Structure 1
Amino acid sequence: MNSCGLSPKTAISASKRVNFKTLEKPDSVLNFFKNHGLSKTQISDLIRKESELLLYDPNKTLLPKFDFFYSTGISRTDLAKVVSNCPSILRRSLKNQIILSFNLLKNLFHSDDKFMAAFKRFPGIILFDHSAITFPNIEILRQHGVPDLSIVHLLTNQPRSLMMLKPDRFNEVVEDVKKMGLNPSTLQFVRAVYALTSMSKSTLKRKMEVYEKWG
C-alpha cells in the first residue's frame, strides 16, 4: 500500500501471491522500474497485475529483458506503457519466448515499423503459440485466396484475430465470411474476419437480429 499505491483490497489480493521477509528485494524491483521511467501509476498497475515480479532479481531477470526491448528501438516511454499494460511479458523466458516471438513476427510483418506498431498496441502478441495457431491461421487465409498485403494489414491492425482462435474454429469463421459474399482479395474480407473473430456465434446472432429489426 505504501510503496505501490495499492488499495487495501488490492494489496490483500496481491500479498497472497508473494512472500518476503525483508524489503530489500521488492524495493530493488520498485527502484528498477522507477529508474526505467515508469510512473507511480504505471508501477501500481504493474504490481497489481503481477505482484510476483517483486520477488525477481532486477539485474539478472529484468534488466536483460529491458535491454533487449531497447535494442529493438522502442523508447523508454513506450516500453513503460508496454510493461505496465502487459506485465506478464516480464515473466516469460527472454530466449525461448520473447526473442523467438520477435524474430518470427518480424518476418511475418515484412516491416520492423509495422511489427513495432502492432506490438505497442497489443504487447501480448509475443505471448502466443505462433507455430500452433498464428501460422496455421495465416495459411488458411492464403488457401482461401487472401493476399499477403491483406494478411499484413490484419496483423498490423488487429493481430489478436489471428491468434485467439484455434485453426479449426478460425477456418469456420473464414468460411462464414465467404458465404456472406465478400471477395477474399479485398481488405473488406479480412475486416469481416476480424469482426467475426471478436465475438461468439450467439453474440453475432443477437446483433444480426437487431439489424434485421431495423430493416
Structure 2
Amino acid sequence: MFCRRRLLLHIRKIPGDGANPLQSIPGAIHLAHNYFSTAVSSVPNSELYPATVSYLISCGLSPAAAAATATTQKNRNLSSDKADAARALLRDYGFTDADIVRTVRGAMSILSVDPERILRPKLDFFASLGFEPRKIASEPFLLARSLDKHLVPSIQFLRGIIGSDDDLRRAFSRAPRALMADVDKNMRPAVEALRRCGLTEEAISKLLVIHMGMLMASPDRIREVFEELKAIGMRIPDSRFLYCFRAMCSAKRGTWRRKLELFQSFGASEGEVLEAFKTQPSILLSTDDILKQKVRFFLDELKLGISDIMSRPVIIAYSLERCILPRCAVLSVLMREGRIQRDDIKLPQALLGNSKIFSARFVLRYADDVPDVAKAYEGKIKFEGFV
C-alpha cells in the first residue's frame, strides 16, 4: 500500500500534455484503478444499508443521523423483529422515545442482540440499582458491556468504596460514563493513587460521589493535580479541597495558568483569582470564550468592577442566557416603571440566589401591577440596559 501511494504521488507530479500520463508508466493504470477501487470500497456507504437507515429513521433519528449511524456501527444489517423487541423492552423499563433515540444512535448494536437473553438481564440489574433510564441512555454502550465480566464487578468495587446505594445512584447520575472504566486498569489504580496522596477512605468516597469520573484519571494525573493544588495553597483539610480537586482533574493540563491569565487581563489580581477558584471551582471548567462573554457583560453592561465579580464568583457559573439576562430584564422593567431605583439594589447580590427567591422578591411581588415583569422573566422582553 505504501508503494502504491508513492507511485500515485509521483503520477500527480507528471505534467499533462493532453495525453493520459499514466500510459507512459507500465502497469500504472491497472495499479491506480485497483488502489482507488479499494479506497472507495473501504468507505462505508449508507446506500448499501437502505433498510437499516429506513429503520433508524422510524426510530426517530433524522435521515442524516440514521445514515451516519448505519455507516459507523459494526452491525449494520438489522432484523426488524429483533430490533422491535429490543425497543419494546427498553420502553418496558422506562425509556422514553427520546431515550431510545439516544440509545440507538450511540449503540445501535443493542438492536441486534437477543433482547431476552442479553438485554433484559442488564436492564434488570440497572433497575435493581435504581439507575435512571435517561442516565443509562446518556452512555448507551453500558448496555453492550458484559454483565458478568464488567458491570457486576464494577458495581461491587464501587460499593466497597462509596458505601450506600443511595450515594452510588448519585455518583452514577453525575457521571454515567465512569462506569465504562475497567476495574483493574482504571478504577483500582485511581483509588490507590488517591490513598497514596493522602485522602482518607471517607474523603475518597465523597470525591467519587461528587464526580465518579475521577476513576478515569491516570495515577500520574492524580499526583500532578495534588501538586498543583498544593502549589496554590489548597490543603486536604480544607472543606473545598475535593471540589477543587474535581475541577482541576477534569480540566486539561495548563488550563489553570490560562484561566489565571484570562482573569488578570480584565484587571483581577492573582490573589483574587485564587480565592475565586477556591470558592467556585467550576469556573475552571468554563470555556475561555464563555468566560470572556460573561465578564465583559458584567463589566460593560452592568458596570460592575472586576473585584465585585471575583468576590462573588458564583455569578460566573450562572447561565447568561437562561438566568442572568432574564433577571436583568425584570430589574430593568421595575426601574422603568419607577418601582425600584438603581441605587436601591446591589448588584450582583440581587442577581444571585435560586429562582424561587428571585421570583418572590422581584416578579410575584409586582406581577399584578406590572405585568411586564412576568414577560421579562419568561424572556419575552429582552434586557437592553438599565435606565
TM over 0.5, yes or no?
A: yes
Structure 1: gaps of 5 or more residues: none
Q: Deviations over 1:161-194 (max 9, x none)?
A: x223211122111111112222222332222221
Q: CA deviation at 1:138?
A: 2.7
State the match for 1:31 in structure 2: 88
Distance 1:186 1:4, change over 3 A: same
Asked if 1:152 corresponds to 2:224, the answer is no
When normalised by structure 1's length, the TM-score is 0.89
Of residues 123, 129, 132 in structure 1, which corresponds to 2:182?
A: 129
Give distance in 1, aligned partners of 2:92 and 2:215.
34
Give distance in 2, aligned partners of 1:165 and 1:105.
16
State the match for 1:105 in structure 2: 158
> Structure 2 matches for 1:10-89, cutoff 5 A?
10-16=65-71, 17=73, 18-20=75-77, 22-72=79-129, 74=130, 78-89=131-142
Distance 1:186 1:132, change over 3 A: farther
State the match for 1:188 in structure 2: 240
Q: Deviations over 1:95-116 (max 9, x none)?
A: 0100000000001012221112
Deviates more, 1:9-18 or 1:138-147: 138-147
Give distance in 1, aligned partners of 2:164 and 2:125.
18
Structure 2: gaps of 5 or more residues: 1-55, 270-387
Distance 1:122 1:133, change over 3 A: same
SS across alignment from 1:26 = helix
When normalised by structure 2's length, the TM-score is 0.51
CA RMSD of aligned residues (A): 1.9
SS across alignment from 2:59 = coil
State the match for 1:5 in structure 2: 60
- Percent sequence identity is 29
Distance 1:22 1:111, change over 3 A: closer
The code of the aligned residue for 2:168 comes to F
Larger gyration radius, structure 1 or structure 2: 2
Q: Alignment length, in residue pairs?
A: 210
Distance 1:178 1:87, change over 3 A: same
The code of the aligned residue for 1:169 comes to R
- Do 1:128 and 1:163's aligned partners in 2 also have CA atoms closer than 8 Å? yes
State the match for 2:228 in structure 1: 176
SS across alignment from 2:118 = helix
Q: Deviations over 1:52-86 (max 9, x none)?
A: 211111001001111122233x1xxx532122111
- Do 1:154 and 1:190's aligned partners in 2 also have CA atoms closer than 8 Å? yes
- Do 2:186 and 2:215's aligned partners in 1 also have CA atoms closer than 8 Å? yes
SS across alignment from 1:201 = coil
Asked if 1:164 corresponds to 2:164, the answer is no
Q: CA deviation at 1:154?
A: 0.9
Q: Which has the higher contact order (CA 8 A, sep 6+)?
A: 1
